[in-house]
Chains A and B, each alone.
Chain A
Amino acid sequence: MKLPFILNGDDVTLDGDVSESLFTVLRRDAGVFQEKTPCMKGTCGRCHVSLDGKEVPSCVVPFFQVRQREVVTPEGFRQTEEYGRFKAILDDEGLVECAECTEVQIFHLFSYLELFPHAGPEECRSVIGEIPCRCGSRPVLERGAARWLEQKEAVRVGRR
């Protein structure tokens, strides 16, 4: 089954079985997620992608659902201007990259803040806690999330 969709801004057509997960097809045919072993339950965050602007675990999304939709992987997200701005704030707050979780956390947190731009500190803490890791980056991410939302709010108010 060949399905056309947009992957990181490019029109692609990939071939996969109807019951294969999006993760499986992306890993096999698009060369992404090569060094990752996700939980296949949709909870670890390692296979998350953005599907039509919403973060989803690609291991539980059946491939047939991506027809003519837009997929952005964490690799694709890293090429965006918004990633650069968000990462700059996190760096400024003292983010030290953890090999296990940082990439996943940034994608996860950014996606959540896009969806819920009025998230409070407790909500952000809870969302950051959804990605299982014992490294010490959580307080940094929380501070970064608060600053990012402040900046976005300032821009929004300025536009009025």
Chain B
Amino acid sequence: MSAAGESPTPLVYSPRSLGEALALFVPNPQAQLFAGGTAWQVDHLTASIRLSPVTISLHLAEDLKRVTYGERFIDLGGSLSLNQLLLVGGAWIPPILKEAARVIGTSALRNLATLGGNLCQKGVLGDLFPPLHVLGAQLEVRNLRGSRWLPTQQVAEEGRVILGSGEILTRVRVPLEEWPLHFYQKIGNIRTPWDERLGLAALARPKNGQLEGFRLAFHVPHSGIIRIRDLEAELTGQTLPLSHRERAQALAMIDDAIEALPLPASQFQRDRIVHMARWVLTRLDEE
């Protein structure tokens, strides 16, 4: 473990393991975690990075970068960089997650940006959340006393990953189910105004002219996640192509869900959500 700097200069710790990182929260309960650092602001006047007074940088904690394979799931370490996720996870990573990771930043930024950092940004869910949500992933968070699993449904309801005192997101468990069709779209990026950003993640399993499984989530960054279980249940088992009535009903349910968002979606977002939903339904019909 190494420490550098003295107050009022930021105090930075670089633990070499998860255990060391967790232990550092005991004397420093207000410490902020520094993962890839790509979302931290650079002060343009001083060309320095605005660090918290006490920062725990996770870049040396190798045990947080592990990938483990189970029979029905893959566990991805919280400090895995996005490029590592694409490389190490290889063929095991669900295509929708790969696609979402590939369109984040540039390749150079993806060498720094981490899975945990993407999910635990201040006040907002990262771009990897919608695909993880439809995949049914779970997030493991750990502190010195133990660990707990956060289902993505809970995270979606809370609007962000809420870490308790001294907690670190240690791994993400992604179920390995077969979804022959996936849909991912992202509009805008971290620097785009809130009301012009949007994300879509959907999975579908058509089989023998029927829709055997279907999941759909929209991410409206300033407001939350739209996931309509009733719509998913309604469409699951339907014969393809969908009837005009079924399509209209699906779009009406999405419209209702937009209205129910805690903070209203902009007209731009409403238009795009409907456009994306139509695109998904049309693609299903083509199967």
Contacts and interface: CB of A to CB of B under 8 A. Distances in A.
Given A19-B9, A21-B49, A115-B87, A40 B108 contact: no
A29 interface: no
A24 interface: yes
Contacts of B2: 67
Contacts, number: 103
Contact of A19 (B10, B102, B106): B10
B47 A1 contact: no
A43 B9 CA distance: 27
A120 B209 CA distance: 33
A77 B47 CA distance: 25
A42 to B, nearest CB: 5
Interface residues of B, number: 33
A56 B112 contact: yes
B98 to A, nearest CB: 11
Contacts of A60: 37-38, 40, 42, 49, 109, 112
Interface in B105-123: 105-109, 111-112
B12 A17 contact: no
Contacts of A67: 2, 14
A67 B5 CA distance: 14
A42 B4 contact: no
Nearest to B59: A65
Contacts of B181: none
Top-9 shortest CB links A-B: A18-B5, A130-B106, A54-B111, A19-B48, A55-B108, A40-B42, A24-B47, A19-B51, A112-B107
